[in-house]
Amino acid sequence: MTLFLLRRLLQGAIVVVVMSLVVFIGVYAIGNPVDILINPDATPEIKQQAIERLGLDRPFLEQYGTFVVRALQGDLGRSFIYDEPALKLILQAMPATLELAIASMVLALVFGIPLGMAAGYWPDSWGANVIMTGSILGFSLPTFWVGLMLIVLFSVELGWLPSGGRGETVVVFGVPLSFLTWNGLTHLFLPALNLALFKISLVIRLTRAGMRETLQQDYIKYARSKGLSRHRVVFVHAFRNILIPIVTVLGLEIGSVIAFAVVTETVFSWPGMGKLIIDSINVLDRPVVVAYLMLTVVMFVVINLLVDLTYSLVDPRVRLGGRPR
């Protein structure tokens, strides 16, 4: 287990290093870093000072070295717009995005698994047809359009739910959270649903396929031959096996949820990283962009590590340290 962890940590570190090189080359080396790192409105003297301070007149490798050293110290530049450290801005916006991402993952599981199991258990029923047609829509309709339609329907027409913002938040361990107040929940629901729609469809398809395949397995027939109830066969014997691919895929999808959050956050004015990065791109606030990229890489590495660990919990065959024979 320790070895496994060490190996994964090392792999993660390599990914971060490679990505930092890409970001560095993309932002610092291509084009004129002076334009990127220094507020274009600054006077020539200030620019000159900054160039020396940032070492932009030094050789490439040395510059990269400085970038890495500063990044390790948490210094990824200052926002031109807010005049605050870019990293701090991103970190402030991160909880909102994570809350949205987790909420939509929960929705994906809560809706996707039961619907997928039903569609897999009664594959020829009309209910299964409805579910599968719905999942095709969920896959193919563009997120921003669905988001707008949700606002039109639930906020404008019916007036049931607010159309944007986070609503009331409660601060837990210094992190503002929406889902703990009723008002916050009503604000969270629509964007989370919007972001979840694609994942719900994905989970439905995965679960249905897994269910159908698993029900064909010998161990299911064997379980039935022992006189187990249908409930136990489906929810213990089949479900535990279906869970493995779902956990894997969904874990890998956390990344894409965070990426897609950019769209949803913009549509619903959800004050997360996605909205921040779009705003920053619009006003060419490049340090924030750099900070966003680096932070997401680190986040992905951590999430993937957690997924691997979860995976090994769900599937005993990949669990390390198991005694063979």
Binding residues vs other proteins (CB under 8 A): 217-219, 221-230, 232, 236-237, 240-241, 244, 314-317, 322-325
Tokens (6 digits) for 38:
């220094």
CB of 240 to other proteins, least distance (A): 5
Q: Which one-letter DSSP state was computed for residue 317?
A: G
Cβ proximity to other proteins, 41 vs 218, nearer residue:
218
Tokens (6 digits) for 312:
């090994």
CB of 98 to other proteins, least distance (A): 30
Cβ proximity to other proteins, 45 vs 218, nearer residue:
218
Quick count: other Cβ atoms within 10 Å of Cβ 122? Answer: 12
CB of 3 to other proteins, least distance (A): 19
CB of 219 to other proteins, least distance (A): 4
Cβ proximity to other proteins, 53 vs 323, nearer residue:
323
Q: In whole angstroms, how large is the CA radius of gyration of the chain? A: 24
- What is the distance between the terminal CA atoms of the chain, rounded to a whole angstrom? 19
What CA–CA distance (Å, rounded) separates 62 from 3?
A: 34
The residue written with tokens 């193919």 in the block is 140
Tokens (6 digits) for 42:
């600054």
Cβ proximity to other proteins, 53 vs 226, nearer residue:
226
**Do residues 108 and 317 make contact, with C-beta atoms less than 8 angstroms apart?**
no
**Do residues 203 and 109 make contact, with C-beta atoms less than 8 angstroms apart?**
yes
CB of 317 to other proteins, least distance (A): 5
Cβ proximity to other proteins, 7 vs 221, nearer residue:
221
CB of 130 to other proteins, least distance (A): 22
CB of 131 to other proteins, least distance (A): 21
Report the residue count for the chain: 325
CB of 58 to other proteins, least distance (A): 56
Cβ proximity to other proteins, 180 vs 313, nearer residue:
313
168: phi > 0 → left, psi -120 to 50 → alpha, else beta; which? beta
Nearest by Cα to 192 from 154, 159, 249: 154
CB of 243 to other proteins, least distance (A): 8
Nearest by Cα to 67 from 58, 48, 90: 58
Cβ proximity to other proteins, 71 vs 113, nearer residue:
113
Cβ proximity to other proteins, 240 vs 278, nearer residue:
240
Cβ proximity to other proteins, 196 vs 215, nearer residue:
215
At residue 271, φ and ψ (nearest 5 deg) are: -75, 60
At residue 182, φ and ψ (nearest 5 deg) are: -65, -45
Please name the helix (run of DSSP H) or strand (run of DSSP E) that holds residue 170, with its range, or none: strand 170-172
What CA–CA distance (Å, rounded) separates 174 from 190?
A: 25
Strand ranges in 178-299 using DSSP code E only, listed in sequence order: none
Question: Which residue type sits at 7?
Answer: R
